[in-house]
Each structure stands twice: as C-alpha cells, then as structure tokens.
Amino acid sequence: MQIHLKTLGCRLNEAELETWAQAFQTKGHVITRDISTAQLVVINSCAVTQDAARKSRQLIHRIHRENPQAKLVVSGCYATLNADEAQNLLGVDLVVSNKDKENLVEKSLSELTFETMPAMATEPAEISLFTRGRQRAFVKVQDGCRYRCTFCIVTVARGDEVSRSIADVILEINALHAQGINEVILTGVHLGGYGSDNGENIVSLIQAILAQTDIPRLRLGSLEPWELNDEFFTLFDNPRLMPHLHLPLQSGSDAVLRRMARRCKTDEYEQILERLRKIPNFNVTTDIIVGFPSETEEEWQESVDFIQRCGFGHIHIFTYSPREGTKAATLPNPVPHEIKKQRSEQLHRLAEEMKRAFYQQNAGEIFSVLWEGQREELPNGNVQVFGYTPNYLRVTCEIKTHESLENKMTNHELTRCFIGT
C-alpha cells in the first residue's frame, strides 16, 4: 500500500511523522510523495493558534478533494482539541488523539482494514526521510509540558511530560546515521524538561548521544531559557553540537512576561545570551508574541528596545489570538487588531534588519555546509543548491547540472549576503 504523510506545525510533528513512516515501511508499505497514488493519507495537525487550526481544517478538505478515494487519518493537536469536529469533516476516516499516537500505525492498519505484509517488510532501499525529500532527521525525545504559560494551548493538547529512554534515543540515532543521515535535531514539547519522569535530564541525554553515537551533527529544537544550567553551556565545547539555539522570549517586557506566566525575566535572558555569544558565531533565534492582552504602548516599546539589544538571527513572530481553554483568553483589555497589525509590521522590519546584520557578521567565515536536495535552475544552465551551516545559516552555491552535493558536508567561505538585497 502507498501512504502519503503530511504535517503542519512544529518540529515535533515532523519527528512523529518520520516515526510513523518507518513503522509503515517496517510493515511492508511504501511512503509516497505523490498524494494522487496514495491509498492512505495521514495528517499530523496543529492548533497552536486559531490560524493553525483553520489551516489544519483547510488541509484536510484539500487532501480529500485531491484524492477522495484515499482513507484519511488525522492526528495532532487540532484533532485532539477538536476531536468531534475533526471526525465529522468530509473524508476523515479515523481520528487518533495525541495520547494514542504511539498506536497510530497499528490503529490505521487494523481499524481501516488494511493488510500488513510482513513478508515484504525488508530494509527499505531508501530511508523514509529521504523519500520525503529531507536530509536531516527530527528525533522526538519527549512529549508534554508541566508548565502552563497563559497563552499556550499545546500543554492542554499534549498532556503530561513523558520522556523516552536514553537507550531508545541512542538506538534511533545510530539507525538513522547508518542509513546516511548526518544531522539529527532533538525535539519535544518541553525539550528542556527531558528526564523529569525518568531521573535523567537534557544534559545527560546530550552527553550520552555525543559519547555513544557518531552522528556528525547534533542540533537542539526549541528550549525554554530557564532550563539552561552551567553544565549545559559546556556541552558546546564539542563541535558536533551545533552552535545554534532557539530560545523563545515571547516578550521583551517583564510586565508582559508576568502576565504570560513565563519563568525568565529579561535580565536573566540577557545573561544567557552573553554566555552563548562567547562561543564563536553562535546563533540565537526566538519567538515573539505581538499584542498580548493589555500590552500597552510603553510595554511594546520596552519590548522592541530589548529585542533590538538582543540582536537575534531570526524571529518567529506571532500575532496574539485568543485560544479557548487558555488563561490568556480570559484576560481583559485585548489589543485592537489594527494596533497588533502595526506592531507586527514594525517587528518584521526589525527582525529582517537583525537577520541581515547577523548574516553579514558571518561573511568571510569558512563553514562546513550540509547540502540539501533542493535545486533551482539558473539562466546560465547551471543549478543553485541550498544547505545549512552549523549555526543554521541557509546558504546557496552554484554547481553544474550534472553535479550533486545532496547530503554532503563541504567547507565553503560565505561571500555575500542576499537578505534584503
């Protein structure tokens, strides 16, 4: 059977998709990029914002239109928070909640009466990651979150914290590396909370991976800034741990951070940045929420000034929208839409300036680049290929059409910044 996998949202969703892909392959089925040939489509949905929930519904509708004969399985946060609604959408055959994701493959095959073909379940010729056009692997190490930031619905959708064993994570990474993967990204809802339920912690996990695998590149997903102890910073002495962290700030105003129930003040965040930037070319990226309830003009300007001082390499900007079931949705004094729009536009301009400045800081440096599979034809008959440096700068170079750099790591000097040009 041919199976098409689709996801919206976070890297954790990507990691789960990859786990399902390999499980389906183990049972003898084929992962296909072509939705028109698929007999089964699995969607890992998102509901981090109202817009994400809307996009999840739209994706379900679109996939059913494109292939109405295919069986359609929906999982993820949208399907968990809106199970009845998802089940009643046209074309949906099965809804699998987040708490039952580990059984998604078995439930899909049994409840939708598909045959499993163990005799054909040989080692796939191509790892499913590659069949979906990826060169890096997302590895899920934990799920759930014990904190309750007032704006976050994901903690409701994902439930309590559950960590995988270090042995299981090591086994998966070694298997991925054996099949040609050169970089893995550790992911989780609350990655820094890894081990809260099994006596381990994020530092011991990373130490074990570096000691018990030969994966050339290890990258971390989003980490809350209050999770980083002194021992954590020493991990970057190992060049296999990539010099990039995504540390969600959410606001540069301490008053707003208190209303968000965040656990890191701006001065603490700034101290973390100072420590990280002692590491050459270290890249810090972040999340910012614009227009949180009661955000005054003074608080907004305070936030902008702090963000500018931080000099982020990239910012994911979210315009606040209330999510039913969160404390923030009950807070008074919502910021008018027009003001949120103006603030978002202002922050996008600042984010672009900071990103360009960081790229320019790195011009002239020589980096090892892991090249991906994307190729774009150029007017001169050559092709443009794309890859990432250790500090997560997206770079490009020109090669001949018969050449390939896909999944290779080669050293290059960064010569020109195209951002904003």
Q: Of 9, 10, 38, nearest to 24 (Cα)? A: 38
CB-count exposure of residue 379 (10 Å: 0-12, 13-18, 19+): exposed
- pLDDT tens, 163-214? 999 999 999 999 999 989 999 999 999 999 999 999 999 999 999 999 999 9
Task: Answer yes or no: are the C-beta atoms of 33 and 56 closer than 8 Å.
Answer: no
Higher pLDDT, 300 or 84: 300
Residue type, 361: Q
| 385: helix, strand or coil | strand
Q: Is the pLDDT of residue 159 over 80?
A: yes
- pLDDT tens, 203-230? 999 999 999 999 999 999 999 999 899 9
Residue with tokens 């007017």: 379
CA 68 to CA 124: how far, in whole Å? 28
Task: Answer yes or no: are the C-beta atoms of 279 and 236 closer than 8 Å.
Answer: yes
Q: Is the pLDDT of residue 38 over 70?
A: yes
Topology given in CATH for the domain delimited by 2-120: Rossmann fold (3.40.50)
| Helical axes 337-362 vs 297-310, angle rounded to 10° | 10
What is the per-residue DSSP string for 278-325? TSTT-EEEEEEEES-TT--HHHHHHHHHHHHHH--SEEEEEE----TT
Task: Specify the pLDDT at position 227.
Answer: 87
Lay out the sheet containing 183-188: strands in order across: 162-163, 137-143, 183-188, 217-220
Q: Which residues of 203-234 are buried (b: 16+ CB within 10 A; e: fewer)?
A: bebbbbbeeebebebbbbbbbbbbbbeeebee
**Any idea what the Cα angle at residue 19 is, between residues 141 and 66, rounded to 5°?**
130
Task: Specify the pLDDT at position 14.
Answer: 86
- Which of the 8 DSSP states describes residue 336? P
Higher pLDDT, 128 or 229: 229
Q: What are phi and psi of 74, to 5 degrees?
A: -120, 130
CA 259 to CA 149: how far, in whole Å? 9
SS3 sequence, 200-215? CCHHHHHHHHHHHCCC
Q: Which two tokens stand for residue 364?
A: 């002239």
Q: Is the pLDDT of residue 21 over 60?
A: yes
Task: Specify the pLDDT at position 118.
Answer: 39
Residue 113 binned pLDDT confidence (cut-offs 50, 70, 90): low
CATH of domain 133-362: 3.80.30.20
Q: Which two tokens stand for residue 83?
A: 């199970």
| H helical segments located in 96-229 | 104-111, 128-131, 154-158, 166-178, 202-212
CA 322 to CA 29: how far, in whole Å? 41
Q: Which residues of 132-167 are buried (b: 16+ CB within 10 A; e: fewer)?
A: bebbbbbbbbbbbbeeebbbbbbbbbbeebbbbebe
- pLDDT tens, 367-411? 999 999 889 999 999 999 999 999 999 999 999 999 999 999 999
pTM value is: 0.82
